[in-house]
Amino acid sequence: MTSSIPKSCPECGTENRAHARACRQCGAPLIANWQDKPVLRNKVLRRTDFMAAARANQKATRRLVFMLILILVILGYLLGWSVQAMSGNFPEGVEGIWFVSRWGVLAALALFVVGVLWSWISFRIGDRIVLRMTGAHEVTPTQEPQLHNVVEEMAIAAGIRKPRVYLIETDALNAFATGMHPARSSIGVTRGLLDTLNREELQGVVGHEMGHIVNWDIRYATAVGVIVGLIALVSDGALRSLRYSGRSRSSNSRSGGGAVVIVLFLLIFAALAPIFSRLVQMAVSRQREFMADATSVRLTRHPEGLISALEKLALNAKPFKGANQATQHMFIVNPFRNFSEKASRLFATHPPLERRMARLRNLGGT
């Protein structure tokens, strides 16, 4: 008869099911002397709380990006549907306005294709544009040996090619990463950050930026920004065109009355779509910041370094030349505003620093 006695984890003491092979809390194998076996020891390094946090953030990000694509597709369909209804081009044998619009399907598909192409162009040149906008200049190992050494350590831990290293000459404390592919990436820090943080804190910050690179956050942010911009552009065009639609609308009762209902749908959706898409974009940005924090812990194995760095950044973050509304989401902390727990965070590019530090303390058990 199979035993049903719960197993206690030798590492954390958590009770697990009788047939469990690994602890549900800490991930340690439920067998004796597992630390003497390299294969099991490596698995434990990968099966930790911060990895669970990273997976949860990945799922949340995918859901949010799907919502953005859905908003874009619905906007395209409503646009095509309204144009078809206002032109009086109804399918044969269909009474009323409730029909599957061929024009709507084509418009939705067209917007989707334009979004993909626009994103691809941004992927090709986006990193170079960002570096120029921030005013960062590349530094050599001879000029900044400690910074290069820390970046190289984190690159080895992440298993990627060492990113190019840039410096922004300002006394503000901040850092950023750019690059559409881990093999073609860059990390930049400000002079103020380099002069203020100690080595452990610098490792935490660089680990955070390395997390953005290995998690493909720059590509996520670029694609999301393109979709949000396209939604805003199409919505604005649709609202402008509706001002003149009454002059050219057909006077027959079928297209006139039906078109009014469809145009009303389009009007409401076109007015709200940019707002909702912006909210989703900011939610994606906040999720990626949490994920980069968790990745920093995975790379450094030392959450206290990043916690201490964030405490200093909370006191010294400020605007500087090279930071603007277009690039604010790329920095480790927002250079224009520190979103506190009491503030309305719907449009926040970053989670509150207090909440980020609390999560890091939970990950590190401190």
Instruction: Please confirm, yes or no, whether 144 is among the known catalytic residues.
Output: no
Q: How does strand 137-138 pair with strand 15-16?
A: unpaired
**Which is nearest to 330 in space by CA: 278, 279, 292, 363?**
292
Burial classification of residue 315, based on how many CB atoms lie within 10 Å of its CB (0-12 exposed, 13-18 middle, 19 or more buried):
exposed
Report which secondary-structure segment, H or E, holds 4. Answer: none
Q: CA of 218: how far to CAs of 40, 189, 296, 310, 329, in Å?
A: 33, 16, 16, 21, 10
Q: How far apart are the C-alpha atoms of 184 and 164, rounded to whole Å?
A: 8
> What's the token pair of residue 302?
């030392």
Q: How far apart are the C-alpha atoms of 333 and 339, rounded to whole Å?
A: 10
The one catalytic residue among 92, 138, 144, 209: 209
Phi-psi category of 252—alpha, beta or left, where left has phi over 0 and alpha has psi -120 to 50?
beta
Q: How far apart are the C-alpha atoms of 50 and 296, rounded to whole Å?
A: 9
DSSP of 214-272, one letter per residue?
HTTHHHHHHHHHHHHHHHHHHHHHHHHHHTTHHHHS--SHHHHHHHHHHHHHHHHHHHH
Report which secondary-structure segment, H or E, holds 8. Answer: strand 7-8
- Looking only at Cα atoms, what is the longest distance across the chain? 84
> What's the token pair of residue 30?
């439920």
Neighbours of 256 (CB within 10 A): 15
Neighbours of 116 (CB within 10 A): 12
**Which is nearest to 282 in space by CA: 350, 213, 359, 355?**
350
- Which residues are known catalytic residues? 209
